Amino acid sequence: MPAYDPDNIFAKILRGELPCIKVYEDAAVLAFMDIMPRADGHTLVIPKAPARTIEDAAPEVLSGLIVAVQKVARAVKSGMKADGITIQQFNESAGGQVVFHLHFHVIPRWDGVALKPHTGAMADKDALIEHAARIEAAL
């Protein structure tokens, strides 16, 4: 398995070298808005501990992370008034992983509304801030 790269974009966010629109944070986890969302309210949840994939994360990191994913998922669903939630987690390039720091996608879903394609286009910052505020209010 390739080594963890401490210069990946999420590591830089954790160190404060790059900005994010934070939704939730505790001692072990950070949740923030995906800047290329597949749906309004698309949120990422990452551990603060370095881990490339789910395979190399310590069990105690995973246990705290999944509890935070559940907490954020409830807030995303409620805050965005969604009908459901899609939770995705990818490992390695062949599995669809693009940023090589363990992370979960929490994506609100509405009946009859397809996910937006992943085009690489960045979302409007003001919209992301508004979505984050709705999710934070539901926490």
Is pLDDT of 1 > 80? no
In a domain, 33, yes or no: yes
* Cβ neighbours for 80, distance < 8 A, ≥ 6 positions apart: 40, 41, 108, 131, 134, 135
pTM of the model: 0.97
Is pLDDT of 2 > 90? no
Position 123 scores a pLDDT of 96
- Mean pLDDT along residues 25-31: 98
Percent of the chain at pLDDT > 90 equals: 96
In a domain, 123, yes or no: yes
Answer whether 128's CB lies under 8 Å from 42's CB: no
pLDDT digit string (tens) for 94-117?
Answer: 999 999 999 999 999 999 999 999
Distance CA 57, CA 53 (A): 7
Range of the structural domain that residue 87 is part of: 9-138
Task: Please give, one letter per residue, the 3-state secondary structure of the chain.
Answer: CCCCCCCCHHHHHHCCCCCCCEEEECCCEEEEECCCCCCCCCEEEEECCCCCCCCCCCHHHHHHHHHHHHHHHHHHHHHCCCCEEEEECCCCHHHCCCCCCCCEEEEEECCCCCCCCCCCCCCCHHHHHHHHHHHHHHC
Least confident of 78-82, 94-98, 118-122: 118-122
In a domain, 1, yes or no: no
In a domain, 3, yes or no: no
In a domain, 116, yes or no: yes
Is pLDDT of 120 > 90? no
Domain count of the fold of the chain: 1
The enclosing domain of 44 has a CATH number of 3.30.428.10
In a domain, 107, yes or no: yes
In a domain, 68, yes or no: yes
| Closest of 39, 122, 30 to residue 80, by C-alpha | 39
In a domain, 84, yes or no: yes
Active site residues: 103
